[in-house]
Amino acid sequence: MSDRVYIFDTTLRDGEQSPGATMNAKEKVRIASRLEALGVDIMEAGFPAASEGDFAAVQDVAAVCQKSSVAGLARTSKSDIDKAWGAVQHAKHPRIHTFIATSDIHLEHKLKMDRDQVVEAAVNAVKYAKSFTDDVEFSAEDGSRSDRDYLCRVFEAAIAAGATTVNLPDTVGYAIPHEFAELVKYVMEHTPNIHQAILSVHCHNDLGLATSNTLAAIQAGARQAEVTVNGIGERAGNTSLEEVVMAMHTRPNYLDFHTNIVTEQIHPASRLVRMITGIMVQPNKAIVGANAFAHEAGIHQDGVLKNPMTYEIMRPETVGLSKNNMVLGKHSGRHALRSHLADMGYVLSDEELQDLFIKFKDLADKKKHVVDEDLEALVSIGILRTSDKYSLDYLHVSAGTGVKPTATVGLKTNGDVLMGAEFGNGPIDAAFNTIAKMTGTTSEMLRFTVSALTGGTDAQGEVTVRLQEGKNIALGRGVDPDIITASAKAYVNGINRLEYLRDNPVISDKDVVENE
């Protein structure tokens, strides 16, 4: 059996199903380019049947990827498969990924189908997908809670119909590592034609065991791991790409497998996904958390100074944390900025560079040094935003002891600038009240978070807000040296994302009822 493990990244699909993490097409393309540089073998670009916006975004991703396979998700209906193929057909390496649930609880309560009907649906879907491309993946949703023999029967039928990859998902994060490994072994031993396909696993983190289950499955014979950057995803998230890859990289004596991942690209990919989705990474998150390579205890610091391996089992440089010696400031020119951005993985058009250069100069006037985190923020906010209905044009606040906090706001929309003013409990609340009245939003703020992008008193403030309007949840993000301005930008960004969701309603592959 080969020791090669294929990395199937679903950040753009399952990761996007994190509440509020909806990305526009340009943001998806930017992440896709980073994932390709990271070396993922397959990226699942979206669920084309979910919305016209998702269809278009998958098309855009398919058009730019030259090395990675691009997959579109589809239920077992012909209409879904047609949508998936329409979205990925121009990819250099297209894949159709079709799925249907196989657990009795899903058959009875969601699908209203018997076992024979599900097998028939799976076979028909794979055959139909195979008429478009040789690269077809079939997933048995809720596989970890399915009857073992029935699961083998479904996989055998799917492979016979032409599936080149069969996926065993732990859809609700129910499995325990030893149990999941035994299930993988059973499937390998009792599916007669399993050698004709790659067995994949897709684990969720509801019990905090996604990475452990994935590694156990790989040891048991699975050769494709379905993961997301930073472990983002529905509920408690998906298996973390960086954890699976670095576990194999760091412990080859026990996990003797290899991937095509360029580990030095892990941290840049993590930063980009965090900035675009607005989903913060907890400081003590393995591999990519802010504290992952920080040492505060004196004993630890002493040991690391003498030999980093005393308390670091991997070098920071291995995951892309090596520091660039080039310092950017207000005297830096376009060439230096373009070169530095290229080193970070951003290749911008002349128009994008010019727009970014203006923002860079404005920031450099406020900060002595502009660091990578600042540039990431400028790119993600200044370049990646598309089709925003509102933009912050003017903000003035008045607050202090004995003063009723007041905000005056100018919003640019459709080429016009609207002005408004309101009171609040504080300057930020006043700004939010003004923006809410001007935009007519009925959204509820679920969360408001403030952090600093870097250290130092001149650090840019980063604000994220989570807004809910009906069933739609959107994350808004704003960055500025002034925290009140950053807050206003974040709120406007969140409202723009809600506008996008209203125009591009999305359905979840976990919530739909299959009746084809």
Say which CATH number the domain at 19 has.
3.20.20.70
The answer to whether position 419 is within a domain reads yes
**What is the reported pTM?**
0.84
Domain C-terminal end among 383, 407, 439: 383
What integer pLDDT is reported at residue 349 of this predicted model?
A: 83
CATH of the domain at 407: 3.30.160.270
Report CA-CA distances (Å) from 463 to 24, 73, 290.
20, 33, 17
| Contact of 134 with 164, CB cutoff 8 Å | yes
Cα separation, 425 vs 421, in Å, equals 14
What integer pLDDT is reported at residue 5 of this predicted model?
A: 98
The answer to whether position 285 is within a domain reads no
12 and 156 in a common domain: yes
Element (DSSP H or E) covering residue 31: helix 25-38
Q: Report the relative pairing of strands 136-141 and 94-101 from DSSP bridges.
A: parallel
What integer pLDDT is reported at residue 187 of this predicted model?
A: 98
Q: Report which of 131, 135, 122, 16 is spatially closest to residue 70, judged by C-alpha positions.
A: 135
How many folded domains does the chain comprise?
Answer: 3
What integer pLDDT is reported at residue 290 of this predicted model?
A: 78
Q: Report the relative pairing of strands 472-480 and 416-423 from DSSP bridges.
A: unpaired
Give the annotated binding-site residues: 14, 202, 204, 238
459 and 377 in a common domain: no
Structure tokens at 262: 């360029």
What integer pLDDT is reported at residue 31 of this predicted model?
A: 93
Cα separation, 424 vs 419, in Å, equals 17
- Order of strands, sheet of 403-413, starting from the edge strand that comes earlier in the sequence: 391-400, 403-413, 416-423
| Contact of 336 with 328, CB cutoff 8 Å | yes
The answer to whether position 291 is within a domain reads no
Cα separation, 76 vs 199, in Å, equals 19
196 and 140 in a common domain: yes
Element (DSSP H or E) covering residue 312: none
486 and 410 in a common domain: yes
What integer pLDDT is reported at residue 311 of this predicted model?
A: 61
468 and 319 in a common domain: no
378 and 396 in a common domain: no
Domain C-terminal end among 383, 414, 436: 383
**Which residues does residue 475 pair with via DSSP β-bridges, in sequence order?**
466
55 and 135 in a common domain: yes
The answer to whether position 243 is within a domain reads yes
| Contact of 463 with 280, CB cutoff 8 Å | no
**SS3 label, residue 90:** coil
Cα separation, 385 vs 470, in Å, equals 24
What integer pLDDT is reported at residue 510 of this predicted model?
A: 44
Structure tokens at 433: 């009240």
Q: Report the relative pairing of strands 165-170 and 136-141 from DSSP bridges.
A: parallel
| Buried-exposed string 404-414: b where 16+ CB fall within 10 A, e elsewhere | ebbbbbbbbee
Sign of CA dihedral 157, 158, 162, 168: negative
DSSP class of 145: G
What integer pLDDT is reported at residue 474 of this predicted model?
A: 86
The answer to whether position 180 is within a domain reads yes
Cα separation, 472 vs 106, in Å, equals 25
The answer to whether position 447 is within a domain reads yes
What confidence tens digit (pLDDT) does each residue in 92-133 have? 999 999 999 999 999 999 999 999 999 999 999 999 999 999
Residue with tokens 């913060």: 280
| Contact of 98 with 124, CB cutoff 8 Å | no
pLDDT less than 70: residues of the chain: 1, 294-311, 322-327, 345, 382-387, 455-457, 506-516
Give the annotated binding-site residues for Mn(2+): 14, 202, 204, 238
Cα separation, 386 vs 389, in Å, equals 9
Cα separation, 491 vs 390, in Å, equals 10
Sign of CA dihedral 14, 15, 16, 17: positive
Domain C-terminal end among 366, 383, 400: 383
Distance of CA 325 to the CA centre of its chain: 29
404 and 351 in a common domain: no
The answer to whether position 292 is within a domain reads no
336 and 251 in a common domain: no
**What value does the CA radius of gyration of the chain take, rounded to a whole number of Å?**
24
**Which residues does residue 406 pair with via DSSP β-bridges, in sequence order?**
398, 423
Distance of CA 511 to the CA centre of its chain: 19
Sign of CA dihedral 295, 297, 301, 304: negative
231 and 138 in a common domain: yes
66 and 142 in a common domain: yes
267 and 339 in a common domain: no
The parent domain of residue 477 ranges over 390-503
The answer to whether position 511 is within a domain reads no
Structure tokens at 494: 């969140």
